[in-house]
Structure 1
Amino acid sequence: MAAMALGPAEAAAAAHALSLPAEAFGNDPRVELAWAMKAHQHAEVYFNLISSVDPKFLSLTRVDDQIYSDFRSTFRELRVDVLDPEDLKSEQAKEKWRPFCLRFEGLVEDFNYGTLLRLDCSRSYSEENSILATRIQFFAIEIARNREGCNSLIYSSAKAPEVALG
């Protein structure tokens, strides 16, 4: 994904636009672009984080324990290492995800914002390895990946050159 930089004027305009109610825009492509840029930046920061800090020690929110516990009690059998988009987007999946997500309204800031999520956690973000999910879905799946050791490969791979040179 190519980085998209905003100048101060564009960043201020985007911040103002994002503070307005959604009804003010309809399907304004500028707003969609601003959201896409924000989601891309979030993805880039997160991937850099799990590449440089052992994911099993990461805390993503102040309620990680609650998110993980609720996630695993609701989605006992969901594989988090390689996601099937149907497990997030099918009508049956949405019926299960909706009440889960709403439990975190008021607990997790911007719980329903659009966020990029990797389908295969052993690979980086790319067009074919990313799906749009809500922030709480991202947190639930990434907290599970971190606690269950799925993201360790990214960290180990990023550290491998240091070990070889060290």
Structure 2
Amino acid sequence: MANLADFNAKELAAVGSQLTNDPSKYVNDENVELQWAMKSYHHAETYFNLISSVDPTALKLTKMDDEIYEEFRKDFPDLKIDVIKEDELKSAEAKEKWRPLINRFEKTIEDFNFGTLLRIDCTKDYSEENSILVVRAQFLAIEVARNREGYNSPLRFKKKENSEQT
């Protein structure tokens, strides 16, 4: 499988331009899936670099962070977000519970249902074992909460310690 580093800027730009086309014109094409995966990986890599470089508790992911957080915690007051259990997001029962929250942001979160990678364990980087595919609205709800509740804060110190050791 190709790695993001295997592509040059021109190829990555081509990927981005394809993702804005009418989805009904596509069939299950390996190239489209690879392009989607590259965009998702780039988003994940950028986000992780951001939260491990600045204080995540002060970070704003969208202009709607306050509303996203309030609605998320109103609907999921006890959801454990430091280590996500896949069935709490993907089981049939969980999907029914998440659907109203996700749909509330259909008109206000750009690409609210775009597939996005979420870290399962917030103390670790993205990896095949530590990533799950969710829709963007779920990603934002969980990551805004992780930032506000301080779960992502240790990443900044971990990155600083690693850079001092090298």
**TM-score normalised to the size of structure 1?**
0.91
Task: Quote the residue 1:112 is aligned against.
Answer: 113
Residue 14 of structure 1 deviates from its aligned partner by: 2.4
Matched with 2:59 is: 58
Equivalent residue number for residue 142 of structure 1: 143
Is this contact kept in 1: 2:81–2:146, CA < 8 A?
A: yes
What is aligned with 1:93? 94
Alpha-carbon distance in structure 1 between the residues aligned to 2:16 and 2:162: 39
Greater mean deviation of Cα atoms: 130-139 or 11-20 = 11-20
Q: Distance in 2 between matches of 1:50 and 1:65?
A: 18
Q: Secondary structure at the match of 2:134?
A: strand
Shift of 1:98: 1.1
Q: Which amino acid aligns with 2:49?
A: N
In structure 1, the partner of 2:4 is: 3
Other-structure match for 1:79: 80
Q: Deviations over 1:78-103 (max 9, x none)?
A: 10000000011000000011111010
Deviations 1:68-119 (A, max 9, x none): 0000000111100000000110000000111110101121111111110000
Q: Check 1:82–1:12 CA distance in 2 against 1; reply closer, same or farther (3 A cut).
A: closer
Q: State the AA in 1 paired with 2:87.
A: E
Secondary structure class of the residue paired with 1:19 = coil
Are the equivalent residues in 2 in contact too, given 1:115–1:135 (CA < 8 A)?
Answer: yes
SS in 2 for 1:53: coil
Which whole-Å CA distance do the structure 2 matches of 1:152 and 1:104 have between them?
A: 26
Give the SS at the match of 1:136: helix
For 2:89 and 2:155, locate their aligned partners in 1 and report how far apart those are by CA, in whole Å. 23
The farther-off stretch of 5-14 and 93-102 is 5-14
> CA separation in 1, counterparts of 2:17 and 2:48?
27
User: Could you list the runs of 5+ residues in structure 2 that have no partner in the other structure?
Assistant: none
Give 1:52 deviation, angstroms.
0.5
| Residues in 2 aligned to 1:64 and 1:30: alpha-carbon distance in whole angstroms | 34
User: Counterpart of 2:126?
Assistant: 125
**Is the Cα contact below 8 Å between 1:68 and 1:144 reproduced in 2?**
yes
The one-letter code matched in structure 2 to 1:139 is L
TM-score, normalised via structure 2 length: 0.91
Q: What root-mean-square deviation, in Å, do the aligned CA atoms of Structure 1 and Structure 2 show?
A: 2.0
Contact 1:145–1:151 (CA under 8 A) maintained in structure 2: yes
Which runs of 5 or more structure 1 residues have no equivalent in the other structure?
A: none
CA distance in 2, matches of 1:16, 1:81: 34
1:121 deviates by: 0.2
Whether the aligned pair in 2 keeps the contact of 1:87 and 1:93 (CA below 8 Å) is yes
